[in-house]
Structure 1
Amino acid sequence: MQTTFTPEQLRDPAIQEADGILRKCVHCGFCTATCPTFVLRGDELDSPRGRIYLIKDMLENDKPASDKVVKHIDRCLSCLSCMTTCPSGVDYMHLVDQARTRIEQNYRRPLADRLLREMLARVMPYPGRFRAAMAAARLGKPFAGVLPERLRGMLKFAPAALPAATPANRPGRFPAQGARRKRVALLQGCVQPALDPAINDATVRLLTRLGVEIVAPPDAGCCGALVHHLGKEDDGRAFARANVAAWMREIEGEGLDAIVVNASGCGTMVKDYGHFLQHDAEWADRAARVSALTRDVSEFLTDLDLPPGDPARVAGVTVAYHSACSLQHGQRVRTQPKDLLARAGFVVKDVPESHLCCGSAGTYNLMQPELAGQLLARKCANIESVQPDVIAAGNIGCMTQIAQGTQVPIVHTVQLLDWALGGERPAGV
């Protein structure tokens, strides 16, 4: 793709990056076949190729985002399926990030939209605030029928009862059982401790049984993905720097063999810290070091050479493996979770159209409920077609979304592995 940025524009590192990304696009359209919004709508502007044209025009002409640009960029899930498909290596992820930042900086949204986005940015990244919001949402459920669609959608994700907080969901140290093989930091997450603390419980149980010491520093918090994808770049960088500082103290202190993340949306963000902070002279090297140490929990368990599971525990249990977009497309982790589940003794089934998003995508199911609902229905029909006993996934957002559309229980991959290797049976399975 030809570009016409001026020499003055190209002095901006962000425009330099955009120019390089745009020049790789050859208009082939392979991305349209795997883009969830194009599959649903058939609109070229709701495909990666169409959005690239919109972004190119906005950046080259240095003009504010139009209503048209905002509508189609907002409809992008950032599932990154297009990047898996693209034969030219177009870095769509960082191009659409630029577009979102520009929209946030120079486009004035309607008041209701601004208030909703601000509320999400000020509540979801903070575990205490989020837990309080979920408690309040439970009280509001009886009045859901009179609320606007977006607020109704938010209420339906609130659990009927908030699970009790557990030690594995609070900062602390968790010693290895027996001889210590590894020492890691665990990112506990923002919404996960409130919505499903059993995920961190299972992670800590399993890893410590395998001889891994875990530390969760008190000053490590939200990965920054949520605000970053809302276009709030400065807020995202503040979260990233705080985490880099917290983990570097551990790295330079007792040392870390890995930073383990069990929510793949967060893992994709942390693995990108090196890029995200590359132009920050004070933080670039440390951020790159943190990114290099980061592993999804399935990657880390694969490197540990997980022992086989107890056949008597899980014999005949059929698992439909839902591959979260952030894991299969964002991190390119595709086979490890399925291999681990099979080694543990489960019967593992692939889900048809597994490359298509379930519609969760961070806050997408709250901001774009109609499209998210269509994707959810399609995903659940595909899952149920393999007749599983349980669904496994590696991301709390996907788990919360899919649970709205099926009666088949859904749990985190690590919960099933913990069960097979001597831990607790996951609730509902």
Structure 2
Amino acid sequence: MTTELTSLKEHYLRCVRCGQCRSVCPVFEEIGNETATPRGKVFLAHMLAGGELKADAEVARKLSLCLLCQACTKECPSAVPVHKIITAARCRLAREISNPLQKLVFREIWARPSLLNISTRLFRGCQDLGLTGLGRSLGLLPPALDLAGRLPRRPARCYIREITKAEGAPKMRVGYFLGCTTNLLFPNVARSTVAVLSRLGCEVVTPRDLKCCGLPQEENGQIDAAETLEKFNFAAFQRQGVDAVVTDCASCFAALKESIAFKGMEIMDLSSLLNDLLAGREIKKSSGTTTYHDPCHLAKAQGITAAPRQLLDRTCAAFIEMPGANNCCGSGGTFSLYHYDTSMDILDKKISSIKETGAEVVATCCPSCTMQIRHGLLKNGLNISVEHPVEILAQSLGISFKA
């Protein structure tokens, strides 16, 4: 949950403008302007909190130039939580500057599964009719729309029961948080997650009434909407009496793990749980070479880097580490929509790292990263697939799905 900007005073006053954050900020590396540095944004937030700076569209634009990747927070020698300060500043700006479109998207459409599903079906219909392609070719639609790729015919919800029984004697009752992007864009990731957990002895509960995790709302300043969603989702799992909650989305995992509403519930990393469940079990390894991209919300926000690699070592015949595996891919959730060109410049470095490995598959645990990297590979004409580690595990266990 986001803290009020004024209550973070002791933190932003610790910033001594040393500039260490400049060396790790992917946005500053591309823009090269001081206001794009983490320390520059902390200074803007400081002035905004003290009333020395007026809340306006230009300040909002400058503070939007952040991926919230947390590289600066991890690097800061003064332990300044830069990402929390920037998020709090965005919340302050959202209250003081009217933005009807942003409120419509994040408070109404994205927060209501029925409206989000309708919007997705409309977009898919436009794709089928060639309208999105025409709009892009005429320059009437933004290039960021291509990030979603070709939308699947059916979301994951159509395939997953609310209760999926364990194969054999049940070891635990696991709540599965099905995130918006996985549900709407990557249904086979969700199907793999549920099927693998079931195969390995878990009863899987996927509440029908789940909503967005609240992270997109929080990152775009709609903090009260985010808190409402968190409380709603917690109640949905609490009613089901689950032992723990897992998710295949790194961003959803970070949101749940850091949510005050979920403090009384165990949130488990999916890769770590799968490694435990696979202990002593021999599985078939896939052919080809695989590399791995660390999602920021998993590696930097939660410090989880080893478990996904251990899972890939179990399932892949050849694993090769890419240079800068934990460098941000430039997606940043909605950042790539607001700042497409800068996002693509950051992505180009990630694509170069992937090419250097010679891998046939890129694995990652975040649907947003999957979209971004897939987009970059297609733009560069590279025939490299992007898969979730749980999909690779499903294949190793002989689990497949009909279209």
TM-score, normalised to structure 1, is: 0.84
**Quick check: 1:130–1:191 contact (8 Å CA) kept in 2?**
no
Partner of 1:320: 291
Cα shift at 1:305: 4.7
Q: Secondary structure at the match of 2:268?
A: strand
What is the identity, as a one-letter code, of the residue corresponding to 2:68?
S
Match status 1:240 vs 2:211: no
Report the secondary structure of 2:262's partner residue. Answer: helix
CA 378–128 in structure 1, closer or farther in 2 if over 3 Å, else same: same
CA-atom RMSD, angstroms? 2.4
Name the residue aligned to 2:38: 48
1:287 corresponds to:
262
Could you report, residue by residue, the CA deviation over 1:41-93 in whole angstroms, capped at 9, with x for unpaired residues? 22222121111111111112365324442222111011111122223332222
TM-superposed CA distance for 1:118, in Å, is 3.3
| Alpha-carbon distance, 1:240 to partner | 0.9
**Distance in 1 separating the partners of 2:255 and 2:62:** 23
Structure 2 residue 251 is the aligned partner of structure 1 residue 265? yes
Shift of 1:195: 0.9
Contact 2:290/2:318, CA 8 A, preserved across alignment: yes
* 1:164 shift after superposition: 2.9
Q: With structure 2 as the length reference, what TM-score do the two structures score?
A: 0.89
Q: Does 1:408 align with 2:398?
A: no
In the other structure, the counterpart of 2:118 is 129
CA 1:67–1:400 in structure 2 vs 1: closer, same or farther (change >3 Å)?
same
Structure 2 counterpart of 1:395: 366
Counterpart CA distance in 1 for 2:14 and 2:92 is 22
Q: Which residue identity does 1:301 align to in structure 2?
A: L
Distance 2:262 2:283 in 1: 40
* Deviation at residue 171 of structure 1 after TM alignment: 5.3
2:44/2:53 contact within 8 Å kept: no
In structure 2, relative to structure 1, the CA distance for the partners of 1:182 and 1:62 (3 Å cut) is: farther
Task: Compute the displacement of 1:95 (Å).
Answer: 1.3
Q: List gaps (5 residues or longer) in structure 1.
A: 1-12, 275-285
CA distance in 2, matches of 1:308, 1:29: 49
The answer to whether the Cα contact below 8 Å between 1:64 and 1:107 also exists between their aligned partners in 2 is no
CA contact (8 A) 1:351 1:383 kept: yes
CA distance in 2, matches of 1:238, 1:375: 33
Deviates more, 1:348-357 or 1:41-50: 348-357
Quote the Cα distance in structure 1 between the aligned partners of 2:103 and 2:337: 10
Once the two structures are TM-superposed, the CA of residue 120 in structure 1 deviates from its matched residue by 5.7
Q: Which amino acid aligns with 1:144?
A: R
- Against the structure 1 CA distance between its residues 384 and 395, is the aligned structure 2 distance closer, same or farther, given a 3 Å change threshold? same
- 1:422 is matched with which residue? 398
Aligned pairs for 1:12-411 (under 5 A) are 14-15=4-5, 17-61=7-51, 63-108=53-98, 114-115=100-101, 118-119=104-105, 122-125=108-111, 126=113, 127-138=116-127, 139=129, 140-141=131-132, 142-148=134-140, 150=142, 152-154=143-145, 156-166=146-156, 170=160, 172-251=162-241, 256-274=242-260, 287-290=262-265, 293-307=266-280, 310-311=283-284, 313-315=285-287, 317-406=288-377, 407-411=383-387
Greater Cα shift, 53-62 or 17-26: 17-26
Further displaced range: 127-136 or 71-80:
127-136
Q: How many pairs were matched up? A: 390
Q: Tell me which moved more, 355-364 or 182-191.
A: 355-364
Cα distance in 2 between the residues matched to 1:133 and 1:306:
45
- Give, in whole Å, the separation in 1 of the partners of 2:182 and 2:159: 9
Q: What is the identity, as a one-letter code, of the residue corresponding to 2:144? A: G
Cα distance in 2 for residues equivalent to 1:306 and 1:423? 19
SS in 2 for 1:184: strand
The amino acid of 1:418's aligned partner reads A
Q: Specify the SS of the correspondent of 1:205.
A: helix
* Structure 2 CA distance for aligned equivalents of residues 121 and 146 of structure 1: 31
2:311 & 2:81 partners in 1: Cα distance?
30
User: Helix, strand or coil for the counterpart of 2:204?
Assistant: strand
Change (3 A) 1:405 1:425: farther
Instruction: Name the SS for the 1:294 alignment partner.
Output: coil
C-alpha change, 1:177 and 1:70, in structure 2 (3 Å) is same
Q: CA offsets per residue over residues 375-415 of structure 1, 9 Å max, x none?
A: 12221111111110101010111111111111310011111
C-alpha contact (below 8 Å) 1:169/1:200 kept by paired residues: no
Distance 2:87 2:307 in 1: 28
- Measure, in 2, the Cα distance between the counterparts of 1:203 and 1:388: 24
> Match of 2:380?
none
Q: Is the 8 A contact 1:165 1:194 kept in 2?
A: yes
User: Structure 1 pair 88/183, CA: closer, same or farther in 2 (3 Å)?
Assistant: farther
Residues 227, 236 of structure 1: 8 Å contact kept: yes
User: Which amino acid counterpart does residue 135 of structure 1 have in structure 2?
Assistant: R
